[in-house]
A and B are shown apart, each in its own frame.
Chain A
């Protein structure tokens, strides 16, 4: 309660409001402090008061053999995940709780942690959460209330910045999945913590693309909400996204900036043999798993390459049922759940170039696990995994 009240003070809220559910990010081990905190809550008899899903932890509890770190670290990671189950969290262990069946509805007040989930919750679901960090998310779940401030309130959800795709961005790129991680990274740099309205994409952008956009934007900037005009529910039009207000600024993102951003997400090493491919950050949806399986067809991952796809255990269960998981394993793909390959020692060798289709993975993996990243499209990743060397089709970026 003290943490929630302190949060209210920092956010300038005068009252607390009830929440329907929570998503807790605190279950990922970041050192003994994270266990000390959870232990303090468990010892005090705390328990969540609202339905609570859990974010990724350090360990894939279903495929523990994929861990390549020290056994002691694994034990600490597992202990922390279990502490949050004791506090009442559902063992979903996914960074994409919006892919669960019982996700929040439009207008619901919730308390979510995990930056990519926060931006998706606000922007795509139209449910309302502030940027809750570790400790605060579980505190709100235990109290069942949040400060009445920030993105919980209508006035803070209006766009104050308009970002337009410039006329030189060709139609083929606007309709390509591979635009979204790059555009998201550029948007995050420009918007920082502001709520932006993005103009210039074809209407009805699907959830997987919005996920890629938001995850990248929340990595390069503190973006907690973005209106994609014509696609997200609070932005059928630019006027509605602005809520009748006048934006503080309007700016354009063009091909020069997009090409430079894409280049900045690739560390190099394109000429050396490929070491690994990592897809599914944030956790892959069933549709994405199916797309990857289709791209492999009857071909297989090269013997020299480690190819990982991360997803949530609930999505994996559906993929098992529908035969998608079997097709992926048949192609030589390893399926990772409960965690992610850039936050835990999973890759057997991150030394050579590692290819990904994720802006978020490309952003964090160099610092976290020392990977030399090459960003490509999903199709590029699959083609490269099969051939064992980096293959990128840059045609969409050259026109």
Chain B
């Protein structure tokens, strides 16, 4: 499915993701500059703007969206963005919810597979530094 990108802080995609490049652009976020494209985004929570649905759908159209989003907290705004991306462009971005303590077990860079409502990862497969 994709490699995990573990975000240490919540992120609002609006003002936080440039859908033209897939880059994290929130200057207040410690991981500014990370590229979200095709990664499995491990996100403690969405944050802020209600425009994040549009940004996610636009990223899907532009081909810069994450492969999947795994959240520690339910987020209607991201779920709807993903639903519209599927409806308009047939591009599926699974948005799943895990208990925060389960979320914390996924290491950055692990290969994560998302199928149905299950998230599995193999932490032995890590990208080389």
> Which A residues are within 8 Å of any B CB, using their own CB?
3, 6-7, 10-11, 25-26, 28, 30-34, 36-37, 40, 113-115, 118, 130-137, 192-193, 218-222, 264, 267, 363-364, 366-368
Contact between chains at A193 and B84 (CB < 8 Å):
no
Number of A-B contacts defined by CB within 8 Å: 129
CA distance A32 to B58 in the complex (A): 7
B53 at the interface (CB under 8 A from A): yes
Asked whether A31 lies within 8 Å of B19 as measured between CB atoms, the reply is yes
A118 pairs with B50, CB closer than 8 A: yes
Interface CB pairs A-B, < 8 A, 13 = A7-B80, A28-B51, A30-B58, A33-B58, A133-B54, A133-B76, A134-B77, A192-B45, A192-B47, A220-B48, A221-B47, A363-B28, A368-B15
Best-buried of B15, B45, B48 by chain A (most CB within 10 Å): B48
Bound-complex Cα distance A114 to B48 (A): 9
Q: Judge whether A6 and B48 touch: CB under 8 Å.
A: no
Interface flags, B1-31, vs A, CB<8A=1, else 0: 0000000001010111001000001111000
Q: Are B88 and A10 in contact (CB under 8 A)?
A: no
Q: Is the C-beta of B98 less than 8 angstroms from some C-beta in chain A?
A: no
Any A CB within 8 A of the CB of B52: yes
Beta-carbon contact of A136 and B80 below 8 Å: yes
Given the complex of chains A and B, what is the CA–CA distance between A40 and B88 in angstroms?
9
**Do the beta carbons of B48 and A193 come within 8 Å of each other?**
no
In this complex, the member of A7, A10, A133 whose beta carbon has the largest number of chain B beta carbons within 10 angstroms is A133
Q: Could you tell me the distance between the alpha carbons of A239 and B79 in the complex, rounded to whole angstroms? A: 35
Instruction: For B27, give the chain A residue with the smallest CB separation.
Output: A366
Q: Report B-chain residues with C-beta under 8 Å of the C-beta of A264.
A: 28
B49 CB within 8 Å of chain A = yes
For residue B46, give the distance in angstroms from its CB to the closest CB of chain A: 6
Q: Report whether B80 and A6 are in contact in the complex, using a CB–CB cutoff of 8 Å.
A: yes
A10 contacts which chain B residues (CB < 8 A)?
Answer: 74, 76, 79-80
Across the interface, A132 reaches (CB within 8 A) one of B15, B19, B57, B76, namely: B76
Looking at the assembled complex, report how far the CB atom of A296 sits from the nearest CB atom of chain B, in whole angstroms.
Answer: 31
User: Is B83's beta carbon under 8 Å from chain A?
Assistant: yes
| Cβ-defined contact, B19 with A367, below 8 A | no
Contact with A along B26-46 (1 / 0, CB 8 A): 111000000000000000011
* CB-defined contacts of B12 to chain A, threshold 8 Å: 219, 222
The complex places the Cα of A31 from the Cα of B27 at a distance, in Å, of 22
Q: Are A134 and B27 in contact (CB under 8 A)?
A: no
Q: How far is the CA of A221 from the CA of B9 in the complex (A)?
A: 10
* A193 surroundings in chain B (CB, below 8 A): 45, 47, 73
Contacts of B106 in A (CB 8 A): none
Is there an interface contact between A134 and B76, defined as CB atoms closer than 8 Å?
no
Question: B84 is contacted by which of A11, A33, A114 (Cβ under 8 Å)?
Answer: A33
Given contacts A33-B61, A192-B47, are A26 and B54 in contact (CB under 8 A)?
yes
Nearest-neighbour CB distance to chain B for A120, whole angstroms, equals 13
How close is A194's CB to chain B, nearest CB, in angstroms? Answer: 10
Q: Does B110 contact A (CB under 8 A)?
A: no
For B95, the closest partner residue in chain A by CB is: A10
Which chain B residue lies CB-closest to A264? B28
**Bound CA span A192–B46, Å:** 9
A131 touches B50 (CB 8 A): yes
Asked whether B50 lies within 8 Å of A32 as measured between CB atoms, the reply is no
Cβ A367 vs Cβ B76 within 8 A: no
Give 17 A-B pairs besides A115-B50, A222-B46 with Cβ atoms closer than 8 angstroms: A10-B79, A33-B88, A36-B88, A118-B50, A130-B76, A131-B50, A133-B76, A133-B77, A133-B81, A134-B51, A134-B77, A193-B47, A193-B73, A222-B47, A363-B15, A364-B15, A367-B26
CB neighbours (8 Å) of A131 from chain B are: 50, 76-77
Whether B79 lies near A34 (C-beta < 8 A) is no
Tell me, rounded to whole Å, the shortest Cβ–Cβ distance linking A163 to chain B: 18
B48 touches A135 (CB 8 A): no
Q: Does B99 contact A (CB under 8 A)?
A: no
Q: Closest CB of chain B to A9's CB: distance in Å?
A: 9
- Are B61's CB and A192's CB within 8 A? no
What residues of A have a CB within 8 angstroms of the CB of B51 in the complex?
25, 28, 30, 133-134
Nearest opposing residue in chain A for B26, CB measure: A367
B15 to A: closest C-beta gap in Å: 5
A205 to B45, CA, bound (A): 30
- Measured between beta carbons, the chain A residues less than 8 angstroms from B88 are 33, 36-37, 40
Q: Can you name the residue of chain B whose Cβ is closest to the Cβ of A25?
A: B50
Chain B 89-104 interface residues, beta-carbon cutoff 8 Å to A: 89
Which residue in A6, A40, A218, A364 is a CB contact (below 8 Å) of B83? Answer: A6
